[in-house]
Amino acid sequence: MKKIDYAVLLSLGALWGGSFLFMRMGAGAFGALPLAGLRAIGAALCFLPLLASRRRRAEWRAHWWPIAVVGLTNSALPFVLFTFATRSLPAGLASIIDGMTPMFAALIGWLWLGQRLDAWRGAGLAIGFAGVVWLAEGSLAPGSGAGLALLACVAATVLYGYAVHYTHLRLAGVTPLVVTVGSHMVAALLLLPTTLLAWPTQPPPLHAWLAAAGLAVLCTALAYVLFFWVLARVGATRIMVIPYLIPAFGVLWGALLLGEPVSARMLGGCAVILLGTALTTGLVRGRRATAPLAAGET
């Protein structure tokens, strides 16, 4: 790997970790549905020139249904769920839960596809879930809405894990860029009605609009283009470092820019979850692992 590859990997961690910062900044003013819709619609508009090729448009039309499923499970629903969660949860905590995506991908692969789950991977799942429980015990203040928000984060990561396997099963021969662009087009169409219906009665302030723009342009459109560029250069195994960078940057941006407290429980829970993820994906034993679908991946 060259220096540019390391720089892009760090940039992806910073961008996707920053998505939780922007969601936290904009969710209160816009609400979950409008902000998620603006993210999908803005990203779709940025992606539109990438479908100028006739070949890409033909490929999209030929596989529109599985691409639509990916748009629902890997973009539309996770965008809404994470945006809803960040109305109650700190950006750093939400980003830590997002780090569980590879764990859920392994669990779904075992339950759905019968993929091998040895003792080490099973232990990784147990350790990761224990980390979530530990975090939850310190976050569930009565009346705070944190419990439902945590469930929303977990549901979003489950959807990401499902989308990984669905894409490999139904879209393995399709150009990844076509899947990404097409799925965000679908997500934009799905979220457009709810964006309009749930639009806030009070005009959102400038910082909320900037957060929405950052989500759409930087954390989605630019991040996906960088992801596929560096994936082609370094391969799927090395790209697996990104899920470990996202929580680190999510906590960092929350602390630096929003003044979110970083407690020993949060750092400990993050370490436990990442250890569980490393065991589940086989990273700590040097085994080859499958890269997630640019998950959230968010």
Q: Which tens digit of pLDDT belongs to each residue from 167-184?
A: 999 998 899 889 999 999
Task: Give which of 15, 9, 23, 17 is closest to 250, Cα–Cα.
Answer: 17
Q: Which tens digit of pLDDT belongs to each residue from 27-55?
A: 999 999 999 999 999 999 999 998 888 88
Is residue 287 assigned to a domain?
A: no
Residue 23 corresponds to which tokens in the numbers above? Answer: 């969601």
- % pLDDT > 90, the chain: 53
Is residue 25 assigned to a domain?
A: yes
pTM over 0.85: yes
Residue 77 and residue 254: Cα distance in Å, rounded? 23
Is residue 286 assigned to a domain?
A: no
Is residue 292 assigned to a domain?
A: no
Is residue 12 assigned to a domain?
A: yes
The average pLDDT across 106-130 equals 85
Is residue 294 assigned to a domain?
A: no
DSSP 211-244: HHHIIIIIIIIIHHHHHHHHHHHH-HHHHTTHHH
Instruction: Give the length of the chain.
Output: 298
Task: Give which of 84, 70, 66 is closest to 187, Cα–Cα.
Answer: 70
Number of domains forming the structure of the chain: 1
Domain that holds residue 60: 3-281
